[in-house]
Structure 1
Amino acid sequence: MTGPLPVGFAVRLNRHVQVRDGGRTLVGGAPTRVLYLTERARALIVDRTVRVTGRATATLADRLLDTGMADPIVAELPDRDLSQVTVVVPIRDRPGPLDRLLACLDGRLRVVVVDDGSAEPEAIAAVAAAHRAEPVALAVNGGPAAARNAGLRRVTTPYVAFVDSDVVLDPDALPLLLRHFADPRVAMAAPRVLGLRMPGRDRWIRRYEDARSSLDLGVEPGIVRPRAPVSWVPSACLLARVDALGDGFSADMRVAEDVDLVWRLAAAGRRIRYEPTAVVRHEHRADVHDWLARKAFYGTGAHLLARRHGTNVAPVVLAPWSVGFVLALLAQRRWSLPVAALLLGVAAARIARKVEGSAHPRRLGLRLAVDGAVASVWQAAALLLRHWWPVAAVGCLFSRRLRRAMVAATVLDTVVDLRRTRAHLDPIRYALARRLDDAAYGCGVWYGAIRGRSPRALLPDVQRRARGRRPVNRGR
């Protein structure tokens, strides 16, 4: 189902979009681009907002949504009939959390509980029956993707919510997500996943997870697709349009199946929205061993994604000039800063030529080049600390400069991230948790690459049109 945005639909430029040249030039999006507006289009944006009143406003709003420059104003979207949603819950051997989840749904929706080969299926069936949920029992454990697909085949409503058993839904989570489907191109919407407070289990790992969980994608809404700020959403809770899902998840994937589905939908031209005002609570792991094992398990999915989606899974995306910029800084020689400055200047000049439609192309070119340089340094630091840490650790045994770079990256990452997340942890334990997090995930990536006999998930994507340096688009 596709078509124009309905009358009354409103979008607002997100806070990262720069409005320049008196409103004629927009800079931002996912990935960053420059959008030039005609006089007519510029007049349609009032207080950074476009309200759909006809064909012209619908076209502009659709364009801004597509580029990632604007987000729907959820508070102004109409409520939709919640009875059009069926909840599918995959479960294996966890009757207690299942009872908690079904209790929070309170019989408001049709629920299909898919028992994925539990050791004691009678306990799962009893909980489902107590909450009037429809049980589906699988004789053989097929994994969460296969279980969700089995539930999807029982859905007769237009929308399906996939909810894991260790999740608790806030009462307005699904209604808020459902509003996004006023946009006919939206195939899926996902909430923010926060930690579920458990009495007597306030361990330091849980406090770290509450602030820095892999499932928590932050406070800002956005379009979801490869190389966007929000490039995936977890299957802990997803609301989707049934007719957009086809056969559903890739049943042969036991990890990263949610990323794969999102990227397939995005490649098909459908929109996926991340909506942080909708909140669900997830029972995070508190045992260090289980926590590390889960992080490593997530990492193994990178190889599977690389096989299906190529360079979309690359750990960093860089332009050739930014590779030289980073290498010059890592060299830590007397010539490093002059060479880095020269590369930055050349990049700024080249970008300025591409944005000559702006009133101040040199100023804009320099701003975009500086943004690219900063992003490149952050990506390089993340590469050393996360994906490439085994190689970097060996290199530190032989290189004093690499040791200095690793120490600087670690300190900077810890200070900035702790300030951003405001975790209830002291800097030492937060730094330890960050490094364990990255090390476990990196081990998983390497294990997947070695087992799959392919380094694709570890290789940078160096391209002439890297993220942030996309062709100029002209709005109509």
Structure 2
Amino acid sequence: MTPALPAPPDARLPDGYAVRLAPGTRRVEDGTALVGGSPLRLLRLSPAARRLLDGDRLTVADARTAALAARLLDAGVAVPEPAGPAPGPDDVTVVVPVRDRPDGVARLLTALRADPSTAGVRVLVVDDGSADPAALAAALADALAPAGVEVLRHPRSRGPAAARDTGLRAATTEAVAFLDSDVVPVPGWLDVLLPHLADPRLAVVAPRVTALPPERPGWLSAYETAVSALDMGPAPGPVAPLTGLSYLPSAALLARRAALGDGFDERMRVAEDVDLVWRLAAAGWRVRYEPAARVAHEHPSATAAWLRRRALYGTGAAPLAARHGALVAPVVISPWSAAALGLALAGRGGRVAAAGVLGVAAARLAHRLAPAGGRPPYGRAAGLVLRGTAAGARTLARSATRHHWPLTVAAAAVSRRARRAAVAVAAADAVLGWWPHRGQVDLPRFAAARRLEDLAYGAGLWAGALRARNPRCLLPVRPPAA
């Protein structure tokens, strides 16, 4: 049975809490509407809302400003400047699940004790059936000396989700921080995250997970530092399925204990963090990503271990599809964009037809966006359609080399045209992925690592779907209504 979650409280943002327009949000129609968020949307402001939104910032002072601030946050067009009552470090319990990683836990506890904001927090180390519990106890001997550190033990391994739930049940504080044994928090991380809990409907907020400098750098180190699967990037935002920030890794999370109910789904040995975030979103809770707080993660450096981990991530899609259906879709694209791209690939005549499809889509969107009694904004609608189609093209190209690479290989085996297209797509994907990180890693290394990572993830994805006898995690969907 899926663990139960409580409903969020019927409470508004507190007075003094503020929001400001996100860097990617644009004012249009003479300031009467906002364009931004993920997926991209147009948010039209009423005259009252325009008066309340003073410039690019809004401070909560009453129920009306609280409702507008919440709407801007939930649409992803604004980011918070939290203020108001929130738990302090004394009301936080740190839960550390571990199995056979004594040196990592000792390093983590040393970092917590060295940070003034976490020096006195209660820490629960949950030993998930380590093969040598005595080695863990010996490694922790010095770290256990300060008051507030306890060890709980599972006689046999039950998985990271169960270990976190054991710590969650033992916690009594308002907030619980989950930290994996292979992370090292950057000082001040908790001070950045705690104010977000002033929002009474916020269940979880997560820091950015960056790379811990490796003791022995390998050929993968620069690539993992640049584009680790655990690093959600530099931009803050709300977290929800089918958006640009669709999940959070459980390597580091700060949670409101009352929001988690029965916690993680202990039946899941992978993707249990994604499942929790999506269940919280479905229950009406807010989840946020705050990259101003950081923890460093010990990324794998051995190629075989790294590939096994990526394949394991891929196997998590099938159980997620069984629980959440289309939310796990690897490709989100509108039917209009899909039709236009398909026609464009058919040749010169198809490109003319594709332009016609996009024109019809832009005209339809312009009429939807038209203000009451106003002219349809054809130019803006055309721009949005073109942006959406370009994003769809990139998503499909990424899928061809990652999620659906077995289909790409099969097509390339029987068609010279498909082979040429596959090589071109793989090369373009590598260059486009590398370009933002060109100062961190060279192109040949990036391209080789990206192709290996995609092959491993895709293999895990298909293996999971075949094992579950359910292809749903491989099927595309259309974007949600804005």
1:337-359 CA-to-partner distances (Å, cap 9, x unmatched) read: 21221111111011011111176
Alignment-derived partner of residue 121 in structure 1: 133
1:323 aligns with 2:335: no
Query: SS at the partner of 2:220?
Result: helix
Report how far residue 2 of structure 1 moved: 4.2
Do 1:89 and 1:111's aligned partners in 2 also have CA atoms closer than 8 Å?
Answer: yes
Do 2:367 and 2:376's aligned partners in 1 also have CA atoms closer than 8 Å?
Answer: no
Distance in 2 (alpha carbons) for counterparts of 1:174 and 1:17: 28
Alignment-derived partner of residue 18 in structure 1: 26
Distance in 2 (alpha carbons) for counterparts of 1:458 and 1:427: 29
Do 2:73 and 2:238's aligned partners in 1 also have CA atoms closer than 8 Å?
Answer: yes
Alignment-derived partner of residue 131 in structure 1: 143
**1:49 aligned to which of 37, 46, 57:** 57
1:28-68 CA-to-partner distances (Å, cap 9, x unmatched) read: 22322221111121122223111112222111101101111
Alignment-derived partner of residue 444 in structure 2: 428
Percent sequence identity over matched residues?
Answer: 49
Do 2:86 and 2:197's aligned partners in 1 also have CA atoms closer than 8 Å?
Answer: no
Instruction: Write out the 4+ residue segments of structure 1 that deviate beyond 6 Å after TM superposition.
Output: 76-79
1:99 aligns with 2:115: no
Alignment-derived partner of residue 217 in structure 2: 202
Report how far residue 80 of structure 1 moved: 4.5
1:393-445 CA-to-partner distances (Å, cap 9, x unmatched) read: 12112223322322222222222221112353321121111111111100000
| Distance of aligned partners of 1:46 and 1:359 in 2 relative to their CA distance in 1, 3 Å threshold | farther
Letter in 2 for 1:130: D
Structure 1: unaligned runs, 5 residues or longer:
472-476
Distance in 2 (alpha carbons) for counterparts of 1:198 and 1:376: 36
Number of corresponding residues: 463
Pairing 1:213-228 to 2, within 5 Å after superposition: 213-228=228-243
Distance in 1 (alpha carbons) for counterparts of 2:21 and 2:424: 35
Report how far residue 77 of structure 1 moved: 7.0
Distance in 1 (alpha carbons) for counterparts of 2:280 and 2:350: 44
Query: SS at the partner of 1:294?
Result: helix
Do 1:330 and 1:405's aligned partners in 2 also have CA atoms closer than 8 Å?
Answer: no
Distance in 2 (alpha carbons) for counterparts of 1:185 and 1:78: 13
Pairing 1:249-398 to 2, within 5 Å after superposition: 249-331=264-346, 333-357=347-371, 361-398=377-414
**1:84 aligned to which of 82, 91, 96:** 91
Q: Give the alignment's Cα RMSD to 1 decimal.
A: 1.5
Do 1:87 and 1:111's aligned partners in 2 also have CA atoms closer than 8 Å?
Answer: yes
- 118-127 or 90-99, which deviates more: 118-127
Distance in 2 (alpha carbons) for counterparts of 1:423 and 1:141: 42
| Distance of aligned partners of 1:262 and 1:339 in 2 relative to their CA distance in 1, 3 Å threshold | same
Do 1:211 and 1:423's aligned partners in 2 also have CA atoms closer than 8 Å?
Answer: no
Report how far residue 123 of structure 1 moved: 2.1
Higher relative contact order, chain-length normalized (CA < 8 Å, sep 6+): 1
1:156 aligns with 2:172: yes
1:232 aligns with 2:232: no
| Distance of aligned partners of 1:242 and 1:359 in 2 relative to their CA distance in 1, 3 Å threshold | farther
Report how far residue 329 of structure 1 moved: 2.7
1:264-306 CA-to-partner distances (Å, cap 9, x unmatched) read: 0000000000000100000000000000000000000000100
Alignment-derived partner of residue 59 in structure 1: 67
TM-score by length of 1: 0.94
Do 1:211 and 1:422's aligned partners in 2 also have CA atoms closer than 8 Å?
Answer: no
Do 1:192 and 1:217's aligned partners in 2 also have CA atoms closer than 8 Å?
Answer: yes
1:315-344 CA-to-partner distances (Å, cap 9, x unmatched) read: 11122111111212333x121321221111
Distance in 2 (alpha carbons) for counterparts of 1:407 and 1:250: 40
